[in-house]
Amino acid sequence: MPLQQFDSLISEFVERSQSILGDSLAGIYLHGSAVMGCFNPLKSDLDLIVVVSRPLTDPVKREYMDMVVRCNAQGPAKGIEMSAVLRGACRPFVYPTPFELHFSAAHLKWYRDNPDDYIRKMKGDDKDLAAHFMVIRKRGKCLYGAPIEEVFAEVPPGDYMDSIRNDIADAPETIAENTMYLTLNLARVLAWQEEGLVLSKKEGGEWALSHLPAEYRPLAADALDEYAGSGRPAYDTALARRYAAYAVGRIYSL
């Protein structure tokens, strides 16, 4: 299985996290495609939430980021996405959720060019964490530490909806540039809003094939094919824009 090729990397990440963070480490939790049955090493990243019991000092952040960057180099094509959060923001749940540290491959150059600046500025709050916590609660995996139900409170439905809406609000303007991602993401937002389903992008596309108006189903099928690794199809851009306008209108009308 594709994910299994990263078992040693995940083990290294957990072991090094224990070594660097010591008794402040409350737990490490896997979410995203890796726990939702649709991990693709060419298109997926490894999504991790690291929970700590107290704020991280700048020297600890620097040591931890150096470790994350080394692990990222061994990861899938999109690398590792990691957020470190305080346990006190997980239960009771705080929204927007504050974070101590964040990394994704998109930030790699910034960290390499100016690590001190990165450490100083990479702290704040992130609406996306509500969606990540929801997936952890519903389908996540504890890699180390306290059980999920003990660390993470339920995410209020309104906060989750605001989080996932935030990711698709500009879809009518941007879907031509990011057709696969937004086509599938819009579908999984609709699936949550209408049926309370917490789905992966792949599952969102499959839901779309039986729930969207017939006009938009070929678009969903093309997006699923691209997500599976078949290459970028010749999307009908006008259709994609109509779909985005339809889906966003439906999402915000309810």
Q: What is the pLDDT of residues 52-105, one digit of tens each?
A: 999 999 999 999 999 999 999 999 999 999 999 999 999 999 999 999 999 999
**How many other C-beta atoms lie within 10 A of the C-beta of residue 2?**
12
pLDDT on residue 38: 93
User: Which domains does the chain possess?
Assistant: 2-154 (3.30.460.10), 167-253 (no CATH)
pLDDT on residue 3: 87
pLDDT on residue 230: 81
Tens of pLDDT along the chain (254 residues)? 578 999 999 999 999 999 999 999 999 999 999 999 999 898 899 999 999 999 999 999 999 999 999 999 999 999 999 999 999 999 999 999 999 999 999 999 999 999 999 999 999 999 999 999 999 999 999 999 999 999 999 999 999 999 999 889 999 999 999 999 999 999 999 999 999 999 999 999 999 999 999 999 999 999 999 999 888 999 999 999 999 999 999 999 86
Please provide residue 181's backbone torsions phi and psi, each rounded to the nearest 5 degrees.
-60, -50
Q: Pseudo-torsion of CA 35, 40, 44, 47, nearest 10°?
A: 20
Closest alpha carbon to 172 in 108, 236, 241, 106: 241
Cβ(109)–Cβ(118) below 8 Å: no
Q: What is the pLDDT of residues 173-189, one digit of tens each?
A: 999 999 999 999 999 99
What tokens appear for 77 in the block? 């094509």
* 92 preceded by a cis bond (ω within 30 of 0): yes
What tokens appear for 169 in the block? 């609000």
Residues 6+ apart with CB under 8 A from 42: 76, 77, 229
Residue 103 exposure: Cα atoms within 13 Å on the Cβ side: 28
pLDDT on residue 6: 96
pLDDT on residue 43: 85
What distances in angstroms separate CA 80 from CA 91, 105, 135, 203, one per listed residue? 25, 7, 17, 22
